[in-house]
Structure 1
């Protein structure tokens, strides 16, 4: 009997339950709204500042990039949740059920992707009333935004799953966040990447974060804004190629890493991690 459809249905329901819980828990609600509110404040103060002699406002240029950054933050959330579920034994319980790991991962993808999309909406909707100069007329911008988001999440969430499998404690997540923040700093989020040194531009283009931001800018900015991009081009083909490569690599590597991680999980390892956590608290 093929239990895969059943695992997918269970995972889908599990993800929706986790998503609903995250919007009814006060602490999670603060997390959902705090970052978008901070970004809105930043863009509000940048809204009248121009980028050099280009005539474009920094707030207008920053909004699509920040949306791309927020989408990329889904991989950090995925990593943190996987690590937390290892520590409290959730993964061990999922492992004990037939196809439980498959259902668990489907649920986690649904909940993290849903939370990410909700956070993007919390940021984008009020920003449309604050930021001027966006190109959002008609269906084309929203269709472009949709494919960039889907491909971007496919490229980043598997990376988060791999990182969550590698790092065994919540404290080790700092090793994930610091490089992520560094990549965001050089990826053209808050200032056009063409104003940075060539070697930083080259490093940024190796990451999915830059391409997510570029794809968002191509969807929401007017065509004339392409003049301040690398090569004065939106580089749609390159965006699809780079994000696609990251997605394929992640989808190939993540299941292998997750299976190996699940095989190492046992009651004794969970108890050992719990004991160490209690010692840190004590």
Structure 2
């Protein structure tokens, strides 16, 4: 029987290694030596709670799956049916074509075709690479259509520091403000907030913005008693969603730190969307660095 994630592609450089799924091009795990820095996706199962997913051509949610583009109402499939929203783009369950694989890197490509609620084709290519500095992920989106189209990108890694319990860690975000949500849809303007969270006393399913770069990069950190991991990203990733479920297989309580180029429901608000003209491309990068 076929694995629901399709083929798994493993990349290795020295002690660093990662695996990527053919279905969805999601990150299955990232480790250095015996230390895991993301929650691993169990073999033979779909990624639990979106673990490791690539979110394109928009991240997070579209309220009611409905938005307007060039004067026309667009109605997406309600992929979050319980809440009545479209969620996390169009490519999580697509087969991605692998290319340019080396020992330390792999590139996968897929196209979101025109469909109900999405009027132009967008091709997305993602390259995962491991090395001495950890994991890097570079994504390029290209408008293959005849008219302009908005684009947003996100990723859904669950961070960990080896076997350290999540409750023994502290999460520090580069964000300086929280976006109020009602049923996971924005309900007000950004509000300033302290964004250092001792996870033993914090439960989150929240969006944050106004991410401030340090030395040219947005930097979020998960720190345990004996080390940690930094999630760095290009300044275009000015938003981040954090989710702390208590039922991650094999680990219990977990923390997703989801870098995004735009906030929830951006197809309606227009906030920080990339507008791609026909034939135009956009590229953005993020990665993980243990410390």
TM-score, normalized by length of structure 1? 0.30
Larger proportion of strand: 2
CA radius of gyration, larger in: 1
Larger proportion of helix: 1
Question: Higher relative contact order at CA 8 Å, sep ≥6: structure 1 or structure 2?
Answer: 1
